[in-house]
């Protein structure tokens, strides 16, 4: 392997560009499913709904799940490159991103295959599980994006390990994992049920986490 190949493997700008590209694709499709397709399917006639499930949704879900995976993989590489400069913001943002990717592959895609008739199972139950995980990912999306951008460009974003504020880190992680626990074992709550509610809640969560990391 030549030195130029090694340079690419350690080039933050190279992997950050692809991380952003895959992330735009992933989160864009997340918003499409939650804000557009999901709302359309609720009011569509049976023929139109069947057409969405047969032709549109499988194709969109292919791009969705692979964009999620490659966003995660390029993020892991970037995280490895900045290990010595980890911060509370980076840890909280990458934790949300990791949980979101696991939700895509472990809950959303597995249950959407049942909803779309690609696998045997109770479509109503599967749809509810996929919907809850998808809404949870939408809830995570604004604070996750805030931290991922802020970690690279915000003032004082890179904090050495000795400078971690453990109380803000642990409180932030507790909130994140409580939300994820509801996605796995809980139910659709009013704060994320509607499109309007989940958008507002996502911004509120971003503000709450920002206050925690700034004040504690």
Q: Is residue 2 classed as helix, strand or coil in its secondary structure?
A: coil
Other beta carbons within 10 angstroms of residue 27's beta carbon come to 21
Note the pLDDT of residue 148: 82
Distance in angstroms (rounded) separating the CA atoms of residues 145 and 137: 12
Give the whole-angstrom CA distance, residue 112 versus residue 60. Answer: 12
Entry pTM: 0.90
Q: pLDDT class for 162, splitting at 50, 70, 90?
A: very low
Using one digit for the tens of pLDDT, what is the confidence trace for 93-116? 999 999 999 999 999 999 999 999
Helix or strand or coil: residue 155?
A: coil
Percent of the chain with pLDDT over 70: 86
Task: Give the closest residue to 33 by CA, choosing from 172, 127, 164, 162.
Answer: 127
pLDDT tens for 51-72 read: 999 999 999 999 999 999 999 9
Judged against a pLDDT cut of 80, whether residue 165 lies above it is answered with: no
Q: How many CB atoms lie within 10 A of CB 141?
A: 23
């Amino acid at each position: 392997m030549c030195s130029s190949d090694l340079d690419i493997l350690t080039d933050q700008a190279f992997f950050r560009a692809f991380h952003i590209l895959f992330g735009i694709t992933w989160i864009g499709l997340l918003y499409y499913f939650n804000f557009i397709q999901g709302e359309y399917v609720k009011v569509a006639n049976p023929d139109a709904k069947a057409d969405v499930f047969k032709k549109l949704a499988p194709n969109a879900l292919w791009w969705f799940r692979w964009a999620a995976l490659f966003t995660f993989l390029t993020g892991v590489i970037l995280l490895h490159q900045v290990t010595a400069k980890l911060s509370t913001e980076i840890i909280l943002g990458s934790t949300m991103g990791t949980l979101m990717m696991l939700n895509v592959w472990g809950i959303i895609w597995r249950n959407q295959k049942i909803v779309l008739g690609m696998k045997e199972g109770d479509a109503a139950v599967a749809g509810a599980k996929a919907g809850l995980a998808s809404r949870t990912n939408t809830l995570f999306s604004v604070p996750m994006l805030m931290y991922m951008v802020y970690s690279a460009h915000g003032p004082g974003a890179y904090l050495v390990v000795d400078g971690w504020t453990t109380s803000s880190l642990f409180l932030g992680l507790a909130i994140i994992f409580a939300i994820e626990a509801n996605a796995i074992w809980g139910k659709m709550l009013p704060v994320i049920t509607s499109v309007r509610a989940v958008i507002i809640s996502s911004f509120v969560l971003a503000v709450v986490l920002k206050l925690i990391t700034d004040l504690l």
